Amino acid sequence: MFAGTGSDVGKSIIATAFCRIFRQDGYTPAPFKAQNMALNSFATPDGREIGRAQAVQAEAAGIPCHTDMNPLLLKPQSDHTSQVVLNGKPIGNRDAYDYFRKEGREELREAVHAAYDRLAARHNPIVMEGAGSLAEINLRDSDLVNVPMAMHAGADIILVGDIDRGGVFASVYGSVMLLRPEERKYVKGILINKFRGDLRLFEEGRRMLEELCGIPVLGVVPYYHDIHIEEEDSVALAAKSAAAQRGKINVAVVLLRHISNFTDFNVLEQDPRVHLFYSNNVEELAKADILILPGSKSTLDDLYEIRRNGVAQAILRARREGATVLGICGGYQMMGQQIRDPHHVEGTIEAMPGLGLLPMVTEMLPEKVTRQVHFTLADSPDSQPMEGYEIHMGETCPTSDNPVSPLNLLEDGQMDGCFVDAKCMGSYIHGILDNPAFIDRLLEPHSAKLTKTASAFDYHAFKETQYDRLADHVRKYVNVPLLYDILKGKR
């Protein structure tokens, strides 16, 4: 188990690295995180939902993702409530206070233990990930994901500390000392992450940490800038904003308050033909050739917000002036004539007018759709097959009996999305932009802007290279043989 001294210390990335390292070394690893809190989720092959981080780790391990890798997912809906997804299916919304009370926790504990046991019967080793801090002592009795989970699994804990944020000695030593004696014996190693500068400057610090804690420091991993692994949290998106660039197609993703599945845009971010940025600044949006309305965990709330802050008007103006507008999932719903919520799935607002760009009406429904899909472009059914996944609560239909052109034709004969013209369309399919054929279709109306050197992009090959580069980076700075000795009980 890679556990942390706090949130955002790099546990997910380290776990991803070791999923690839163990695979490279001939093992059959699988990731596991008992409880994850994230808006960025993924649909498994059997149509269920897990945190995106575990889907990425499974990809690094070279195996299909499964709900047993993340049996409990919390999807925040406000500052105080979250949708609770158990074994890939929603079981309701819970207030944080009610969720973390002791009552009812044993049923959840049994469920995550059962998921781990099933996974451990199929894979070895299991690369576990903790959540937040290892030493959340106020939540000790209700904790499902850190030390109690490691104790159930008999897992060796490697404590990850973030030196970049400062206070690494106090956070590592404090995390260890706040554990009970019977818990402390599971912590077998310390890993310092996000180091900047000359590693020789920390040699004395490494020795001091080992003496203080009585635990070996397995390595000090430097910060990197040139390895690209999909991120779990959206906190860094606002920094990916810049002025328009010549010789490229400028693509703006509208920065929503409740943006979800922002990894939809990782391919565009790497495509050499594209300059991608995230913004809710109307002046920056006006410089885009293509505007994308992304998915949202609170579609009506985000629709209200973009009407209030002028972004909705900026999108309509951009459409009139020749820009492309694409909506994905919640963004697709927003582009229609109206969104209705008679069942109060999202809140008290029962209806709100959409942007009016698509002749569609959406009704929010209590039942969530989660599935992987294979599809072709509706107007080119013989085109290259493509794939993606759906995660949404709602059904979107034409406003009248007049025929509407769908964007995609699914493998099972169903239709998806709406196609007005080459510059106005929407779809429920996440991952649609992972398909080179669809990106080519999206960029084609603006291809005259490209320089002659711009070319297409193979995202699958790119990701495989990045996982290997991450593994190489971690191997260089971590004592992997010592870790194997710990796992084999030799230390």
Sheet containing strand 274-279, edge to edge, reads 274-279, 249-254, 290-293, 324-328, 424-427, 418-421
Under DSSP, is residue 359 helix (H, G, I), strand (E, B) or coil? coil
Q: Quick check: bond before 181 cis, omega within 30?
A: no
Crossing angle of helices 11-24 and 459-477, in 10° steps, is 90
Cite the DSSP H helix spans in 287-352. 299-308, 311-320, 330-334
Tokens, residue 439: 């990106």
Instruction: Give Cα separations from 182 to 140, 147, 148, 150, 286 (angstroms).
Output: 13, 10, 11, 12, 59
The answer to whether 335 and 293 have CB atoms below 8 angstroms apart is: yes
Q: Sort strands 360-363 and 395-398 into parallel, antiparallel or unpaired.
A: antiparallel
The answer to whether 49 and 43 have CB atoms below 8 angstroms apart is: yes
Active site residue ranges: 329, 430
Under DSSP, is residue 112 helix (H, G, I), strand (E, B) or coil? helix
Length of the chain measured in residues: 491
Under DSSP, is residue 95 helix (H, G, I), strand (E, B) or coil? strand
The closest alpha carbon to 93, from 278, 368, 324, belongs to 368
The secondary structure of 195-248 as a DSSP string is E-S-GGGGHHHHHHHHHHHSS-EEEEEEP-SS-----S-STTGGGS-----TTS
Give the separation between CA 185 and CA 304, rounded to whole angstroms.
52
Give the separation between CA 394 and CA 363, rounded to whole angstroms.
5
Which residues, in sequence order, are CB contacts of 110 under 8 Å at separation 6+? none
Q: Identify the DSSP state of 351.
A: E
Is the sign of the CA dihedral 162, 163, 164, 167 positive or negative? positive
Amino acid at 234: S
Under DSSP, is residue 279 helix (H, G, I), strand (E, B) or coil? strand
